[in-house]
A and B are shown apart, each in its own frame.
Chain A
């Protein structure tokens, strides 16, 4: 799965189904605790989903992901490889109640600077596999720098019907944008 590349779709393809299609977009008009994409069973014709986002938090809190409104203590795991402009670190978190990604930039530091995210949800509707995600990110605020590569696990063979992006504290700020794409 290429990072953020997807499949080519020629402009003006007309009625033919594209391989990479926009499904939904949310641009926040106010600060919110979480953003969910629901009823994803209606997108079962797609193999994978991708969320492309620019995000910011009121308090610089951690971005997290849950599926199907499941917040249970042993269902999630993540591996993180991150750079902060000085050093590279890696972490492994097992048996958590959500997929823990990275801290978001705080609006209080630079109100116009958001953090880019490209998150792939692979085989999201397959009922024979535990669910895997892959994410890349980057932000270059003067006071908060982060780039990272993440892989997450949801230890469930259930089809993903809801994806929730939430933060550990504060709120995802107004102006943040999340777009959901389907890949065939």
Chain B
């Protein structure tokens, strides 16, 4: 019997400029998580990062591939304090940005946590980012914030989905 699979775990529609959003007590009953963000920068450019389980250590790695309509590029970071999900595709005040971050096998306890994130800022840049959190713990908390401390704007939407497996 097929299993209805794609569940909305939590939703946020910002009613004020917000510097961070935290999803906590995430159930381990899913296989993958999908974080969907649509919005703009609040008080300036918002460079999205994720931290898992309150880990602020240099335990995150990433690489990206992006295109800006002129030339493609690829870069990486190896020992960072937050998970990059949209390198070069920050949320600006004047242009809407979308990020879909897939976090695979988030609740397993024998793997580093792998993410694949797709992002785009309207009319400017698009990117694909692969990520790794070098920790085998099940993810039960996700914090979304900006690396420069800026905020997301009012009306930005942040949805967290769980995919059963």
Query: Is B21 in the interface zone, CB < 8 Å from A?
Result: no
* A20 CA to B114 CA, complexed, in Å: 22
Contact pick for B116, options A11, A136, A182, CB 8 Å: A136
Say how far A133's CB is from chain B's closest CB, in angstroms.
16
CB distance from B27 to the nearest CB of A (A): 10
**B136 interface residue per 8 A CB criterion:** yes
Determine whether the beta carbon of A146 is less than 8 Å from that of B130: yes
Given contacts A113-B132, A138-B130, A138-B131, contact A145 B115 (CB under 8 A): no
> Is there an interface contact between A140 and B130, defined as CB atoms closer than 8 Å?
yes
Q: How far is the CA of A162 from the CA of B136 in the complex (A)?
A: 33
Q: Return chain A residues, CB-CB under 8 Å to B67.
A: 88
Q: Which of A57-65, A71-79, A121-129, A173-181 contacts B (4 or more CB under 8 A)?
A: A173-181
Asked if B132 contacts A139 (CB within 8 A), the reply is: yes
Partner of B8, one of A8, A83, A179: A8
Binds B, one of A21-29, A30-38, A164-172: A21-29
Tell me, in angstroms, the Cα distance from A95 to B105 when the chains sit together: 35
Can you list, as one digit per residue, whether each of B95-137 has a CB less than 8 Å from chain A (1) or not (0)?
Answer: 0000010101100001110111110000000001111101010
B45 close to chain A: CB less than 8 A? no
Please list the 9 inter-chain residue pairs (A to B) with the smallest Cβ-Cβ separation, ordered nearest first: A138-B130, A83-B65, A83-B74, A85-B76, A18-B4, A88-B72, A21-B2, A140-B61, A140-B132
Q: Could you say which interface size class chain B belongs to? A: 35 or more
Q: Are B118 and A136 in contact (CB under 8 A)?
A: yes
Asked if A137 contacts B130 (CB within 8 A), the reply is yes
- State whether the Cβ of B75 lies closer than 8 Å to any Cβ in chain A: yes
A-facing residues in B5-48 (Cβ within 8 Å): 5-8, 31-32, 34, 36
**A18 touching B6, Cβ below 8 Å:** yes
Given contacts A54-B114, A138-B114, A140-B130, contact A114 B105 (CB under 8 A): yes
Mark A residues whose CB is within 8 Å of B. 2-11, 13, 16-23, 25, 52-54, 81-88, 110, 112-116, 118, 136-142, 145-149, 175, 177, 179, 181-182
Question: Complex: how many Å from CA A11 to CA B64?
Answer: 33
Residue among A2, A84, A181 making CB contact with B5, cutoff 8 Å: A181
Contact of B112 among A6, A81, A112, A148 (CB under 8 A): A112
Nearest B residue to A8, CB-CB: B6
Complex formed: what's the CA distance from A68 to B7 in Å? 32
- Does the CB pair B4–A9 fall under 8 Å? yes
The answer to whether B100 and A147 touch across the interface, beta carbons within 8 angstroms, is: no
Q: Is B93 an interface residue (CB 8 A)?
A: no
**B104 and A147: CB pair below 8 A?**
no
Chain A CB within 8 A of B78 CB:
yes
Shortest CB-to-CB span from B105 to chain A, Å, is 5
Q: Which of A10, A83, A182 contacts B63 (CB 8 A)?
A: A83
B70 at interface (Cβ–Cβ under 8 A)? no
